[in-house]
Amino acid sequence: MNRAVENGYEATDIALGVGRDETEVNLSWYTPETSVPGVIQIAEKSFMKGSEFPVDRAKTVKALVSSASPGFSSHKGTVTGLDSSAEYVYRLGDGKGKWTGPFTFQTGRGDAFTFLFVSDPQIGASGDSASDAAGWEDTLKKAYRSFPDTSFVICAGDQVDDPYNEEQYADYFSPGLLKQVPFATAVGNHDASELYRYHFYVPNESSFGRTSAGGDYWFAYGDALFMVLNTNKKDGEGKAAVRNVGEHIAFMKETLEKNQNAKWKFVVFHHSIYSAANHSQDRDIIRLRKDLVPALDALGIDVVFMGHDHSYVRTFPMKGNQPLPVQRTDGRGRVVDPPGTVYFTANSASGSKYYDLVRGENEDYAAAKSQLYAPAFSVARVTPETFEIGTFRTDTMEVIDSYAIVKK
């Protein structure tokens, strides 16, 4: 377990998260059990004098505190009013002289930004949490070193293997990048407990899709809207239980009504409905696809980011559950105004577990698929007119796949 105490203030499992838009970030962390809320102090890094935190130029935010796992409390706070393309320094404390850090992060630009897409670090799945955490950290370090302008990271679920294992969460949070770059995580089937809610502070959380781990949520970044669904929500019991797609559809409709100017519409959820490994033929996945795809079509979703099947897939643009392999492209090979939705399934970001590819109907919808038995990540860049994404294997940094969309 890697639950280090920071400089006198016993803050652990520190998570920097996305806010409602690019002008905000959320922060969450653990302390030993207490009823006293922690505080966040933040300032522009340019005000730092050597290693001295610029208290006189800092903004202080009082966090909310609640009970977490036995012996721990969860603290959550939101920092607002951030400038674009600015570097900030922050620390967490008790407001009485004990502090962490400081830590730094860089804000992006809403008009053109880069984000990482990963999934299924699933710390502990290999049986060796320390090894899984090392693989997770290696992926994040190499990705950020290669793409230092990254504004945030999307992780499509299964942060840990055991939803009730705090040691696995401690190892998940051990990479320093989780304190430096905002994350937006989805609830995976291996995260589906209240511990997820204790650890992550998400913006614009809805009552739709709510389980003990939390509900659907959304955030905006420039011209892009990201809607994150908790596809663990089910109705019924046992084998008769079905995923509550109706709530997700209601959530997306409500969110799009609030964000009518969004030029890019992205959806994130864990259970891939267009994958190519073992889970692609699960009965509940086939049912989820049948129920959810018509709504994604009708709502004009551009791209969907998923995980769960521990292998890589990019679909053709899909419409009515049918691939549209023939597309208009520009001189750079970018697809121009595709009429459907493109679905991405990420491989494991840590290497803790992989699934073999299987033959089946995925042969029709998969424009690209691979199982290289190596950790992987994707990097996407968004402007008002373009979406470009490349996928890399972590060990060699070889490009696995690339794709681009242009909106005219």
Domains and CATH numbers, the chain: 12-106 (2.60.40.380), 113-406 (3.60.21.10)
Residue of higher predicted confidence among 264 and 278: 264
Mean pLDDT of 87-100: 94
Task: Please give the structure tokens belonging to residue 372.
Answer: 């290289």
Other Cβ atoms less than 10 A from the Cβ of 396: the count is: 9
Q: Say whether pLDDT at 2 is over 60.
A: no
Whole-angstrom CA distances from 127 to 168, 170, 239, 310 are: 11, 15, 28, 16
Q: What is the pLDDT of residue 242?
A: 67
pLDDT in tens, 6-19: 558 999 999 999 99
Q: What percent of the chain has pLDDT over 70?
A: 97
> Cα-atom radius of gyration of the chain, to the nearest Å?
20
Q: What is the mean pLDDT of the chain?
A: 95
Q: Say whether pLDDT at 1 is over 50.
A: no
Burial per residue of 326-358, b for 16 or more beta-carbon CB atoms within 10 angstroms, e otherwise: ebeeeeeebbeebebbbbbbbbbbbbbbbbebe
Q: Say whether pLDDT at 65 is over 70.
A: yes
Q: How confident is residue 234, by pLDDT bands cut at 50, 70 and 90?
A: confident
Q: What is the pLDDT of residue 178?
A: 97
Q: Say whether pLDDT at 38 is over 50.
A: yes
Q: What is the pLDDT of residue 17?
A: 99
Q: How confident is residue 5, by pLDDT bands cut at 50, 70 and 90?
A: low
Q: How confident is residue 360, by pLDDT bands cut at 50, 70 and 90?
A: confident
Spatial CB neighbours of 315, under 8 Å, sequence gap ≥ 6: 274, 323, 342, 343, 344, 365, 366, 367
